[in-house]
A and B are shown apart, each in its own frame.
Chain A
Amino acid sequence: GDSVTQMEGPVTLSEEAFLTINCTYTATGYPSLFWYVQYPGEGLQLLLKATKADDKGSNKGFEATYRKETTSFHLEKGSVQVSDSAVYFCALIPFSGGYNKLIFGAGTRLAVHP
């Protein structure tokens, strides 16, 4: 079945460092891809999305490019802040099937220190 694999955390960075969180997927056809963020004590929020190959999603300085050839959707940010500390989830919606079914990766915890 369709699945999402993320790099294990925690990822610990200093403020202003470059961030990459790897995400790869297994799916038939062309799924839609998402990154969600969960701040401590809160629910998930949609960070960005891409619905077709080579699309780049971006928001709040974060970017991710839908790479069909490598089945990847890596999350990047050029300069992280302490306020970016959170858990980041990569997710997909399968190409087949008629409803809004999100399949999540296990999540990657990011800790940014001053």
Chain B
Amino acid sequence: NAGVTQTPKFQVLKTGQSMTLQCAQDMNHNSMYWYRQDPGMGLRLIYYSASEGTTDKGEVPNGYNVSRLNKREFSLRLESAAPSQTSVYFCASSTTGAKNQPQHFGDGTRLSIL
């Protein structure tokens, strides 16, 4: 049972390069999320998708774009990477976007911007 799968697991970029982080879930969940995790700050929501065809900004959306490709997949794109985007990125999903639905997390993508 794969759950939430993120690719790649690690990536190093140069400032100004672009990159897409991939996320797929096999639990037939409607809602998906992208977070970033920085030392001493916990996880912060970048974007979320309550259902297929919809996306909304979270707490820290600047510098990112997302695409809900279909029900299973939700990608995060950095158009012009900056050192401040060095972080660990987590994708999550939940049955619906209703409050208190448990969120299931992937294992993360560790991204370094030089």
A interface, CB within 8 angstroms of B:
4, 32, 41-46, 49, 51, 89, 91, 93, 97-102, 104-107
The 4 closest A-B pairs by CB, nearest first: A43-B105, A104-B42, A44-B105, A104-B43
Would A46 and B103 be within 8 Å (CB), given that A99-B97, A100-B94, A100-B97 are in contact? Answer: yes
- Give the residue of A32, A44, A104, A105 whose beta carbon is less than 8 angstroms from that of B99: A32
Would A43 and B107 be within 8 Å (CB), given that A101-B45, A106-B40 are in contact? Answer: yes
Residue-by-residue, is B16-40 near A (CB-CB < 8 Å gives 1, otherwise 0)? 0000000000000001000000001
Task: Give how many A-B residue pairs fall within 8 Å (CB-CB).
Answer: 61
- Give the residue of B4, B48, B99, B106 whose beta carbon is less than 8 angstroms from that of A93: B99
Contact B103 A100 (CB under 8 A): yes
Nearest-neighbor residue (CB-CB) of A89 within chain B: B42
Bound together, the chains give a CA A2 to CA B77 distance in angstroms of 28
Contact A98 B99 (CB under 8 A): yes
Beyond the given pairs A43-B105, A99-B56, 12 more chain A to chain B contacts, judged by CB atoms under 8 angstroms and listed by A's residue number, are A32-B100, A43-B92, A44-B103, A45-B105, A46-B103, A51-B100, A97-B99, A99-B48, A100-B31, A100-B94, A102-B103, A107-B42
In chain B, residues 74-114, which have Cβ atoms closer than 8 Å to a Cβ of chain A?
90, 92, 94, 96-103, 105-108
Does any Cβ of A come within 8 Å of B41's Cβ?
yes
